[in-house]
Amino acid sequence: SKLSVIIPAAGSGERMGSDIPKPFIKVGDKTILEHTISRFLEVPDVAQIIIATSKSYIPTIKSMFEQLSTDIQLDVVEGGAERQFSIYNALKLVSAECELVAVHDAVRPFVRKQLIEECCEVASNIGGAVLGVPAKDTIKKVDADKVIESTPDRSVLWQAQTPQVFQKELLVKAYESALGENFIGTDDASLVERIGGAIQMVEGDRENLKITYPVDLKVAELILGVGK
Ligand code: C5P
């Protein structure tokens, strides 16, 4: 089935400590966002890519689209104050021909084609799929004073990455429900979980890093062989 890809790229880049929002930082010859988009251009089922960005970057995205030679439908939409609102705005533009929707962070440029396809297959079969890896560190639950309350069993903990792929109706329903009840989640699956949707974890790899802190940018440069 045809896939629509929503790429939220409206974050401010606070944790990076940079003036330029993370997706627009250059690594090698391209911006992080361009690296990310190029991964999805390789996937035959992709029919549409929607970028959510802040108002001031909409012209940047439009001129970037002009450089891409592809049959894929390319759209841009203004983002919101939270990642979730950015995605909700994009969801309204999903093309009618797409049965599946993938949400993928602009700042994960190393996602592999085969894993995107694996997520799509699982989502087609059961409703939703989340790419992730088993938790590497021991995770602690703490109170407001950082006093440790408990240590969840690591063997059942996974780190959720993106893409997170869902059947379109399921994702739309989850977003509308979350909006109606003022629930804000840190990923898309958490919204779908709330309405009881079935989602399976797909084991990915640790190269699919989320460029968030300055050290992540250094690792990204090493992966691309452009380290300074
Ligand atoms: O802030 P966080 O690291 O969770 O951001 C993940 C992705 O969501 C980034 O690609 C960022 O640009 C995007 N985002 C967004 N709208 C926001 C906040 C974050 O599109 N309001």
Question: 74 and 34 in contact (C-beta within 8 Å)?
Answer: no
Give residue-wise pLDDT tens across range 93-118: 999 999 999 999 999 999 999 999 99
Q: What is the DSSP string of 180-217?
A: HTT---SSSHHHHHHTT--EEEEE--TTS----SHHHH
Q: How far is the CA of 9 from the centre of ligand 1 (A)?
A: 6
Q: Which domains does the chain have, with CATH numbers?
A: 3-223 (3.90.550.10)
Section 14-35 average pLDDT: 89
Q: How far is the CA of 83 from the centre of ligand 1 (A)?
A: 5
Phi/psi for 206 (5° steps) reads: -80, -5
Give residue-wise pLDDT tens across range 45-63: 999 999 999 999 999 999 9
Residue 201 Cβ contacting ligand 1 at under 6 Å: no
Q: Among all chains, which residue has been given the structure tokens 């929002």? A: 21
H-only helix segments in the chain: 32-41, 58-67, 83-91, 113-126, 168-180, 189-194, 214-223
Atom 21 in ligand 1: residue holding the nearest Cα = 82
Determine the Cα–Cα distance for residues 218 and 183; give it in Å rounded to an integer: 35
Residue 91 clears pLDDT 90, i.e. is over it: yes
Residue 68 clears pLDDT 60, i.e. is over it: yes
Q: How far is the CA of 85 from the centre of ligand 1 (A)?
A: 10
